[in-house]
Homo-oligomer: A and B are copies of this chain.
């Protein structure tokens, strides 16, 4: 089961807040904010799908993510990679660096990151 676009957006707020009451989530949206009931519906669906949990304080719920962002994201990314790059992460990486316009600094940064990864592998 997967999150839909708007569920994903809400999930993002939840990841950022780490835990949140309805109020907090509504605040997170920029204008025009969706109706409370809309958010409630989404939360219910997300809960049903197993992406969101909550703790009850009286009758009010404090929601929190049940999946962590990088986990979710990397699954996503792997799907994309599989779908578009015959499952080759390297092929994707190549595409990524040429198509995403990183600045010189970002590229240097990326290079360092890669080097660090290489070092790690060598241990």
Q: Which residues of A contact B (CB under 8 A)?
A: 8-9, 12, 69-70, 73-74, 76-78, 80-81, 83-84, 89-90, 92-104, 106-111, 113-115, 117-118, 121-122
Contact = CB atoms under 8 A, between A and B. Distances in A.
A97 B80 contact: no
A106 B70 CA distance: 21
Contact of A110 (B77, B83, B84, B94): B94
Q: How many copies of the shown chain assemble into the complex?
A: 2
A78 to B, nearest CB: 7
Contacts of A102: 89-90, 93, 117
Given A9-B83, A100-B81, A93 B110 contact: yes
Leading 9 A-B pairs by shortest Cβ distance: A90-B106, A74-B99, A93-B110, A104-B121, A111-B114, A89-B100, A107-B118, A97-B117, A94-B113
Contacts of A90: 102, 106, 109-110
Nearest to A69: B84
